[in-house]
Amino acid sequence: MESVPAELFTSPSRKSPGRATYPGRLTRILPIVLGLIALGVPACEKSEGQHEAEHHQIVVTSPLAKDVVLTQEYVCQIHSQRHIKVQAMAGGYLQEIHVKEGQAVKKGDLMFKIIPVLYKAKWDTELAEAKLAELELNFTRKLKSDSVVSENEVELYKAKLAKATAKAKLAEAEYKFTDVTAPFDGIVDRLHDREGSLIKEGDVLTTLSDNSLMWVYFNVPEARYLDYMAGQAGGQQNADIDLVLANGSKFQYPGKITTIEAKFNNETGNIPFRADFPNPHRLLRHGQTGTVQIHRTQHNALVIPQRATFEVLQKRYVWLLGADGVVHPRAITIQNELDDIYVIKSGLTVNDRFVLEGLQHVRDNQKLEEPEFRKPEEALANQKHHAE
């Protein structure tokens, strides 16, 4: 309530030097002041009454045991199931290029052709030697029939023909090395050379990727690896595996964990996992990155709303309501954190009651008078707020 200025009550018979005095001044102002006072007093009394009557309703609830889907996320690297370097098996000038960058090829398609002049000449030479050996063998057989030479002489020319034939086949293989064909269905990468380039044996011409099935690698901490193996030993079904791409979209085909490497990385404490994803539309490419999501259902998990907890010195607590109606802080251990609920590892049971609303107005050892109890299903429905 505002205070009234003292000069308003100055007597009209007293005069101040240099100031005019009006006999009816107090008579005119006093009704106004009294009106203001009359308006102010009820307002003050009403405000104080409301403050005294203010009451904070405390709401309590209990944990709920239910099946929840737990999701673990890992950054991953995406690889083709086959990603190879296409190399020249013979030296020479690159005569023809039959593919383009990014082109899909089939197994056996001709990709590159190297000028085969020297290899063709060698093959022709070896074919001629094989033909000569064949003529010599036929002539020796005729002499054998006329009893001019022995059987040993015939066998000698047979061996000579076999040797010449083998050398001709080797020359033919070397000649065919000048034709570089696709070893499997795949996608051609960047071309390293152009027509007319001098190629040496072993030079990389391009790379070829088989993207029909993608191998996705990610690192799993030791604790989660042990949880996964314990679940597998306990007969749990394989977890659902999703792949989230760099733009946030989810890859349409689910994956499956197929490989766990043999040893841990001692520096990071992780072990590499591999999940396989079918890629029929060839959306995924070798070298991409993403995020693997592993979804596993935990049965009869104990859950509470996050907003029913508070943190002190990096530990999470709830206000536990005892059978005597007195509240005490109870430390809890969080197993998993979902959107707006916690999966409890220890610290609570389904029979416990804890404060859900009004945490700021509760003190240790405070006795709650008739708190409102809310069913766990209702407390967990439509959660929008995280922990305080």
Digit-coded pLDDT (tens) for 295-322: 888 888 999 999 999 999 889 999 999 9
What's residue 382's pLDDT?
67
The whole domain housing 35 covers 6-53
What's residue 292's pLDDT?
96
Q: Which of 25-29, 129-133, 151-155 has the lowest mean pLDDT?
A: 25-29
Domain membership flag for residue 346? yes
Residue 208 in this model has a pLDDT that exceeds 80: yes
Using pLDDT thresholds of 50, 70 and 90, give the confidence band for residue 18: very low
Domain count, the chain: 4
Statement to judge: residues 279 and 199 lie in one domain = no
Statement to judge: residues 176 and 250 lie in one domain = no
Task: Report yes or no on whether pTM surpasses 0.85.
Answer: no
Secondary structure of the chain in HEC code, one letter for each residue: CCCCCHHHHCCCCCCCCCCCCCCCHHHHHHHHHHHHHHHHHHHHHHHHHHHHHCCCCCEEECCEEEEEEEEEEEEEEEEEEEEEEEECCCCEEEEEECCCCCCEECCCCEEEEECCHHHHHHHHHHHHHHHHHHHHHHHHHHHHHCCCCCHHHHHHHHHHHHHHHHHHHHHHHHHHCCEEECCCCEEECCCCCCCCCEECCCCEEEEEEEEEEEEEEEEEEHHHHHHHHHHHHCCCCCCEEEEECCCCCECCCCEEEEEECCCCECCCCEEEEEEEEECCCCCCCCCCEEEEEEEEEEEEEEEEEHHHCEEECCEEEEEEECCCCEEEEEEEEEEEECCCEEEEEECCCCCCEEEEECHHHCCCCCECCCCEECCHHHHHCCCCCCCC
Domain membership flag for residue 12? yes
Q: In the listed set 155, 173, 207, which residue is the last one of a domain according to the structure?
A: 207
Q: In the listed set 276, 299, 322, which residue is the last one of a domain according to the structure?
A: 299
